[in-house]
């Protein structure tokens, strides 16, 4: 067990799988008490069981991040269980397999993607910020994406729009709350070998179209994103706020030029 998050309480959305699962396990191993939040009760409770088996502290709370009331309940559950909230990782998100270009994406797909990926972050922050104030400050991490910085080679207009919104919200939140000892940063993963992306890149041709753009030549792993989130959540990042923290195998360095 490490000590980088000792005596801290963290709330993690999308905790049942992918980045959320790996971050929940890592944060708990570094001493945090973790409120694992997800719509997937079976998966979420499984993560809590893993944490407890390793000697950590965690609770599970069912939460639909597209519902403000549900996001509020998750914060209440974290504070009730552990007495405070110091870290919030707004990580829950979807990538709809029907997401396409502007011509071929249905309005329902667009609306559902933004409801979860954008409103989920907004509702989370709406209830987490008062809790962080009560704790005397803390850190918020919002999962954006490399597609918030460059166009995706495979069309996914709703997802790209949603992650651009998350990045923009993160910047504003960081400025507004900087004097309250609340840091807000955006984690921008590159393409990952997670179920979320592999379901979307469902042919070898689609996967290769992504891989050819990544200087490292491989998909990232959820565990690597968890390590980045740990840094952003820890006191080691005490002077870091409003950052676009790209962990992407070099893809944005290869394609994004400073203005």
Domains and CATH numbers, the chain: 9-190+223-246 (3.40.50.720)
| pLDDT, the chain, mean | 95
Residue 107's nearest CA partner among 182, 157, 176, 41 is 157
Catalytic residues, by residue number, are 159
Whether residue 259 has pLDDT greater than 90 = no
pTM of the predicted structure, to 2 decimals: 0.96
pLDDT digits (tens, 9 = 90+) for 119-168: 999 999 999 999 999 999 999 999 999 999 998 878 999 999 999 999 99
CA distance 86 to 254: 35
Residues 6 or more apart whose Cβ sits within 8 Å of residue 94: 112, 113, 116, 117, 196
The per-residue pLDDT for 236 is 98
């Amino acid at each position: 067990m490490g000590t980088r998050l000792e005596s801290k309480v963290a709330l993690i959305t999308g905790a049942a799988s992918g980045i959320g699962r790996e971050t929940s396990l890592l944060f708990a191993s570094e001493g945090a008490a973790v409120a694992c939040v997800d719509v997937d009760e079976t998966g979420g409770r499984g993560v809590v069981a893993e944490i407890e088996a390793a000697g950590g502290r965690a609770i599970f709370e069912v939460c639909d991040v597209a519902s403000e009331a549900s996001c509020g309940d998750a914060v209440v559950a974290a504070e009730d269980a552990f007495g405070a909230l110091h870290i919030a990782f707004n990580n829950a998100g979807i990538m709809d397999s029907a997401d396409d270009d502007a011509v071929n994406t249905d309005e329902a797909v667009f609306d559902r993607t933004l409801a979860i990926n954008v409103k989920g972050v907004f509702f989370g922050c709406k209830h987490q910020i008062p809790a962080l104030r009560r704790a005397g400050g803390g850190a918020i991490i919002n999962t954006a994406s490399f597609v918030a910085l460059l166009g995706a080679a495979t069309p996914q207009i709703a997802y790209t729009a949603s992650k651009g919104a998350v990045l923009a919200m993160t910047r504003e939140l960081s400025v507004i709350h900087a004097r309250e000892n609340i840091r807000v940063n955006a984690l921008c993963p590159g393409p990952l070998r997670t179920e979320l992306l592999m379901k979307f890149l469902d042919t070898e041709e689609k996967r290769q179209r992504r891989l050819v753009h990544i200087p490292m030549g491989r998909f990232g792993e959820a565990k690597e994103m968890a390590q980045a989130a740990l840094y952003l959540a820890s006191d080691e990042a005490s002077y870091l706020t409003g950052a676009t923290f790209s962990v992407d195998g070099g893809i944005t360095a290869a394609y994004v030029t400073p203005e």
